Each structure stands twice: as structure tokens, then as C-alpha cells.
Amino acid sequence: MTENADSGDARTRILDAAESLFARHGFDGTSTARIAHAAAVPKGLLFYYFPAKPDILAALIEERLGTAALDADPLAVRGDPVQTLMNVGERVLHDREASDVLREILWHESHVRPEVANALARYRRALHDTVERALTACLPAGTDRGAVRAAADAWSATITARPLEAVSGESSEEQRRRLHEPASLRAIARVLAAGLQATFKGAAL
């Protein structure tokens, strides 16, 4: 393995370790020494890549959050806004389950760290753009643009909603699954689709 490959591997291990530890213990509850130990690198090497702990968090957010809008074309099903919304939802929730940044860190830190709050805002704007473009592609010309934007707002809020606190022994993971279970999401998608179709019919009269 080359020196450059070793260096890249070390940096990746640092980010992997930080992602896992920040998700479990929070940013303030995780020391750089603990990150270095989990990544199996000298502490000096960690500071070579990331001079301060906030730099590690910033790198995680920028590199692993994915704030670019998704490609809406493969998600749009012409004439079927319900399935179009479900396709976007399934893609986002799949990405969220695979990422500690999306599943835990973003929600824990966004209310105390401005850079994380800004990243969350960028993520939601990009998601809104994806939903709006997917709906526009699947709906007939003449559908009210304001209604499409409102539906995109509502769907983006639904699929990025933070899970409620656990009650009666239910874990936050169980609540997350219940909040975003397919039957619940499809019911919401049907309500939004009905509203969109009503605006189109009204415009056609």
C-alpha cells in the first residue's frame, strides 16, 4: 500500500470513528483522544488532518450528508404522484438508515451548533427541490405550481421529521419506524396527491 493510500485510509478511519462516536455520545461527549483510539491512529495524526474537533464534524457534514438534490427523473412515475412521493421517501429513508450523520448527528447537534443547523437547512432545501421536480415531472401540465411547492414542503417535512421521544417503553428506533412505516407514508402521500389533483381539476374548469 502506498503512503498516499495509507494517509487516505487513516483519514477515513478517523471520520468513521467520529461518526459512530458522535452518534452515540454526542459531539461534546466525545473527546479527540477517544476518536483517535477508535480509529487506531496517533492523536498527532488526527490533528494533522483535523486541527480541531469541530473540523471533524464539519468534514462529516460536508462529505457525508449529501446536500445535493437527488436526480428526480428516475423517481417520478408519470401520472402517479402517490408512487412518486413514495419513491422519494424510500430513497431518503434508506439513505438515512445507512448514515449516522442523517440518523443521529444532524438531529442531536443542529440545535446547538450553527454549522450543523445550516447543513440541515441546505439538506432540506435540496430535498424540497427534488420532490418539486419529481412531482412536476409526474403531474399533467396545468397543475397549480403553488400547490406543487406546498406538497413538496409537506412531504419533505414528513420524511425528515425527527422521531418523537420514546414513551411507554418504546425506543426512539421503534418510534422512528412507526412514524415512517410505509402504510403511514402512503396515507399522507394520498392526501397530498388528492390535493394536487383537485387543483388541476379546478384549473381545468
- Better pLDDT: 53 or 175: 53
- If asked whether residues 27 and 58 sit together in one domain, one would say yes
Q: Identify which of 127, 125, 131, 172 has the alpha carbon closest to the alpha carbon of residue 148.
A: 131
Structural domain for 59, as ranges: 3-64
Q: What is the pLDDT of residue 176?
A: 53
Q: In sequence order, which residues have a C-beta less than 8 Å from that of residue 92 and are 6 or more positions away? A: 70, 127, 159, 160
Counting the structural domains of the chain, the total is: 2
C-alpha cell, 197 = 389533483
- If asked whether residues 16 and 86 sit together in one domain, one would say no
Q: What is the pLDDT of residue 164?
A: 52
Q: Is the pLDDT of residue 74 over 90?
A: yes
Q: Please state, for a pLDDT cut of 90, what percent of the chain lies above it.
A: 52
- If asked whether residues 94 and 172 sit together in one domain, one would say yes
- If asked whether residues 9 and 106 sit together in one domain, one would say no
- If asked whether residues 111 and 196 sit together in one domain, one would say yes
- If asked whether residues 43 and 130 sit together in one domain, one would say no
Global confidence as pTM: 0.76
pLDDT digits (tens, 9 = 90+) for 4-38: 435 569 999 999 999 999 999 999 999 999 999 99
Which of 27-36, 57-66, 195-204 shows the highest mean pLDDT?
27-36
C-alpha cell, 201 = 381539476
By CB atoms closer than 10 A (0-12, 13-18, 19+), residue 3 is exposed
Question: 205: pLDDT confidence band, cut at 50, 70 and 90?
Answer: very low
CATH number of the domain that residue 49 is part of: 1.10.10.60
Give ∠ CA 166-168-174 in degrees, rounded to 5: 45
Q: What is the pLDDT of residue 163?
A: 59
Q: Please state, for a pLDDT cut of 70, what percent of the chain lies above it.
A: 83
- If asked whether residues 140 and 157 sit together in one domain, one would say yes
